Amino acid sequence: MKHASLVVLALIPALFSGCKPAATTPAESGRLFGVSFQTMNNPFFVELNEGLKSVIAPRGDRLVTLDAQWNSLKQKNDVADLLQQRPAAVFINPVNWEGVKGTLIEARRKNVPVIIVDAPVSDPDLVLCQVASDNFEAGRLACEALARVNPNAKIVVLHLSVNRACIDRVEGFKAEMAKHPGMRILDIQEGKGSAEGARPVMRDLLGRFPELDAVFPINDPSALGAISAIEAAGRAGQVTVVTVDGSREGAAAVRAGKLHATVAQFPKEIGRIAAEKAYAHLEGKPVEKDIKVPVQLITRENVAAFLESR
Amino acid sequence: MKSAEQARNKPVSLPVEEKSRKPIGLSLGAVRTFAPLLAAIAVLLVLFSLWVPQGRFLTPANLVDLTQQISVNAILAFGLTLVILIGGIDLSVGAVVAAAGVVAVSLLNTTGPLGACAGGIGVAVFFGLANGLFAARTLMPPFIITLATMLIARGFALGFNESRPLPIAEHQELFLALGNARWGGWLPMPVILMFGVFLLSTVLLHGTRFGQHLFAIGGNREAARFTGIAIARHEVLVYAFCGACAGLAGIIHASQLYSAEPAAGMGFELSAIAAVVLGGTSFSGGIGTIPGTLLGAIIIGILDKGLNQAGVHFSLQYIVKGAVILAAVWYDVFRRNRKR
């Protein structure tokens, strides 16, 4: 009896693949696009997704958004599911820049173009193009802004060293620092890229280094954590904070004078450009491999205009 | 003590009350256990074949993909079935996936694929043995023990390569084949490995005396002790087996992703527990089957894939999955109580 039910089960797929045409909805209009984000628990990716949609939806095409929840295996499976549906193109924001390779090979085998958004991958040959903020330039601009007010800054860095974009920011920061011999990095610590993660680390660093007078937390959330630690230690106004992100909260802190500068990224723009490149490729036009979306330094002078434009 | 135990061991007849406690055969009990799961799978397949546009759900390629996608979760769930069956729990399997992966990939270039796999599974068995020894020899609840070893294994894994992914060199074809090769051009290697573990654990649980003892321990630990079953030894072996499964899963995971991730496997324990529970294993121990767990893993896999391909928003996917698990377990509990 058990065998009977197993046989029935085995027959079900056969049965249904037999009547496939009947199951097909005749007027499935528009092409399918898919995007897989490393996480949707960050306004940055929500805005990036809106940017994609702003190009795809008006053309009557469909965008399926998937959240990998920081799980590269889930991302691999999600994209495999998409590829089975023969999408026109797939956008991937990789959890693991090495781990996405199998997915890219599979997409190539199925002839589906892949556009990488926000974070680079280790095999650029396997993708149509990569669209990301110019993170190196963002780090450089942050350092430049700091050098203008404090050319002899004693700096600590609150890193998120598992993240490729943050690695690039710190590299850009260091490259600019080389031009300012008076600047010195006292220490680089893991700030976990979040306010909760950065606050205690910053508090410890303030205790360890009385001469500390500047901090480069690699994004707005960790900058806000650092600021609250600085205020708690009674050193508000003595430590210059520069960062990268340009979120609403970060810009508000710039306006309030707590954050000296944040270098804004434009996630909506990244999404818009990525989607346009996909359509350009589908129309047979050539597409550049590596597209850096410009960043913008936000300080007290231009913060009002920036907040208005958002 | 040991001889006394053995002497008492001989004339034991085990307290077998329920059909599902028997070894799996062509019994009516097996049908009763699996029919609802098979029915659920059939319903989901029909549902998604109608829902997913252009009939792209029930294609051979998509179903082969499905089996590949459930393989890591199913292998973890087979090991966890035995643990949950004896009234335990292992929260460390997700972190052990990462630990085994980073150890295997670190060894790969010096020892070759065989040494790498041995090292990865070795580390995983070590964590399993530690879990088992603490569970058997102390009064600490397994939930707390494995919560602690989860943190230790995670910290161990994060210590490699500054917590960044360790890439697998392109020339390590044999190791990469474990996760990516397709036998005969279509059957994915992870699926073959999954069936290997499935057969092994099915025989172990449903075809040996050892397995029968596990049902006895899970059903009534004190009674099992009085019948002379060496509970501690069984417990240690069960946790070690669960660790070995996590080790194999870790190796497949690393191979599939062309890299070992120190942060891999977070939350994998929860998906695996969901598969075990959906498959009809009782959380209080004593009731459960390996084929049931496989069906549970298949149900979760179909849900994941079907909801993705039907284009359901990811926020809604969480809710649907939660609701399905809740409904399935509720139905199971209801059915069991009615039988009594």
Question: What is the domain range of residue A249?
Answer: 135-266+299-309
CA distance A279 to A63: 13
End of a domain among A107, A127, A147?
A127
Strand duo A261-264 + A296-298: pairing: antiparallel
- A18 falls within a domain: no
- Under the banding of pLDDT at 50, 70 and 90, the label for residue A29 is low
Both A175 and A305 in one domain: the answer is yes
Between positions 24 and 53 of A, the ones with CB within 8 A of B are: 24-25, 28, 40
pLDDT band at A248 (very low <50, low <70, confident <90, very high): confident
* Contact across the interface for B309 and A81, Cβ inside 8 Å: yes
User: Does B64 reach chain A within 8 Å, measured CB to CB?
Assistant: no
In terms of CA atoms, which chain B residue is nearest residue A29?
B53
Domain assignment present for residue A151? The answer is yes
Q: With contact defined as beta carbons under 8 Å apart, do B40 and B47 qualify?
A: no
CA distance A86 to A77: 15
What's the rounded Cα separation, in Å, for the pair A239 and A235?
7
Of residues B68, B98, B77, B82, the one with CA closest to residue B247: B98
Contact (CB<8Å) B55/A24:
yes
Distance from the Cα of A38 to chain B's closest Cα (Å) equals: 13
For residues A105 and A237, state if they share a domain: no
Which pair of tokens denotes residue B220? 């009534």
Helix H or strand E encompassing B182? strand B182-183
State the distance between the two ends of chain B, measured CA to CA, in whole angstroms: 38
Distance separating alpha carbons of residues B174 and B148, to the nearest angstrom: 34
* Whether A60 and A104 share a structural domain: yes
CATH of the domain at A106: 3.40.50.2300
Handedness of CA A8, A10, A14, A19 (dihedral sign): positive
Please state the three-class secondary structure of chain A as a single string: CHHHHHHHHHHHHHHHHHCHHHHCCCCCCCCEEEEEECCCCCHHHHHHHHHHHHHHHHHCCEEEEEECCCCHHHHHHHHHHHHHCCCCEEEECCCCCCCCHHHHHHHHHCCCCEEEECCCCCCHHHCCEEEEECHHHHHHHHHHHHHHHCCCCEEEEEECCCCHHHHHHHHHHHHHHCCCCCCEEEEEEECCCCHHHHHHHHHHHHHHCCCCCEEEECCHHHHHHHHHHHHHCCCCCCCEEEEEECCHHHHHHHHCCCCCEEEECCHHHHHHHHHHHHHHHHCCCCCCCEEEECCEEECCCCHHHHHHHC
Residues A179 and A305 in one domain: yes
Which chain A residue has the Cα nearest residue B304?
Answer: A78
Residues 6+ apart with CB under 8 A from A211: A154, A186
If you measure CA to CA, which chain A residue comes closest to B24? A2
Topology of the domain comprising B68-339: ABC transporter involved in vitamin B12 uptake, BtuC (1.10.3470)
Query: A127, A155, A172: which is the final residue of a domain?
Result: A127
- What does each C-alpha distance from B1 to B4, B5, B227, B234 come to in angstroms? 5, 6, 14, 16
The verdict on residue A10 lying in a domain is no
Reply yes or no on whether the pLDDT at A10 is more than 50. Answer: no
Q: Which residue of B has its CA nearest to A75?
A: B257
**Spans of all domains in chain B:** 68-339
DSSP state, residue B170: T
Sorting pLDDT into bands at 50, 70 and 90, what band is A181? very high
B157-186: pLDDT as tens digits: 999 988 888 999 989 999 999 999 999 989
**Span B125-141, mean pLDDT?**
96
The rounded distance, in Å, linking the Cα atoms of B210 and B229 is 10
Q: What is the pLDDT of residues B140-164, one digit of tens each?
A: 999 999 999 999 999 999 999 888 8
Same domain for A162 and A106: no
Which pLDDT tens digit goes with each residue over A126-148? 999 999 999 999 999 999 999 99
Is the same domain home to A47 and A119? yes
- Tell me, yes or no, whether A146 and A47 share the same domain: no
Angle in degrees, 0-180, between the axes of helices B290-309 and A72-84, rounded to the nearest 10 = 60
Assess B31–A contact: CB distance below 8 Å, yes or no: yes
Amino acid at B104: A
Domain end marker among A62, A97, A127: A127
Of B34, B256, B308, the CB nearest to A66: B308
Q: Are residues A94 and A238 in the same domain?
A: no
CA distance A131 to A154: 34
Contact A17 B65 (CB under 8 A): no
Amino acid at A205: L
Based on the fold, state whether residues A165 and A216 are members of the same structural domain.
yes
Confidence check: pLDDT of A268 > 50: yes
The mean pLDDT of A23-27, rounded to a whole number, is 38
pLDDT surpasses 50 at A225 = yes
CA B332/CA B327 separation, integer angstroms: 9
Q: How far is A119 from chain B (nearest CA, A)?
A: 14
Let me know if residue A238 belongs to a domain.
Answer: yes
Measuring CA to CA, which residue among A6, A191, A236, A84 is closest to residue B37?
A6
The pLDDT-based confidence of B29 (bands split at 50, 70, 90) is low
| CA A192 vs CA A71, A202, A299, B186: distances in Å | 17, 12, 24, 42
Q: Does A153 fall in a domain?
A: yes
Q: Which of A2, A24, A69 shows the shortest C-beta gap to B34?
A: A2
N-term to C-term CA, chain A: 65
Nearest to B176 by CA among B267, B129, B113: B113
* Claim to verify: residue A155 and residue A221 sit in the same structural domain: yes
Query: Domain check: are A160 and A303 in the same one?
Result: yes
Q: Is the Cβ of B211 closer than 8 Å to some Cβ of chain A?
A: no
Same domain, A49 and A169: no
Q: Bridge-partner residues for A216, per DSSP?
A: A157
Say what the pLDDT of residue B8 is.
43
pLDDT of residue B340: 55
As for how many domains chain A has, the answer is 2
CB B325 within 8 A of CB B277: yes
Tell me the H-state helices in chain B: 2-9, 28-51, 60-85, 93-137, 142-158, 173-180, 189-206, 209-219, 221-226, 231-256, 268-278, 290-309, 314-339
Q: A9–B38: do the CB atoms touch at under 8 Å? A: yes
Q: Do B308 and A78 touch (CB under 8 A)?
A: yes
Share of chain B above pLDDT 70, in %: 91
Using left for φ > 0, alpha for ψ between -120 and 50, and beta otherwise, residue A184 falls in beta
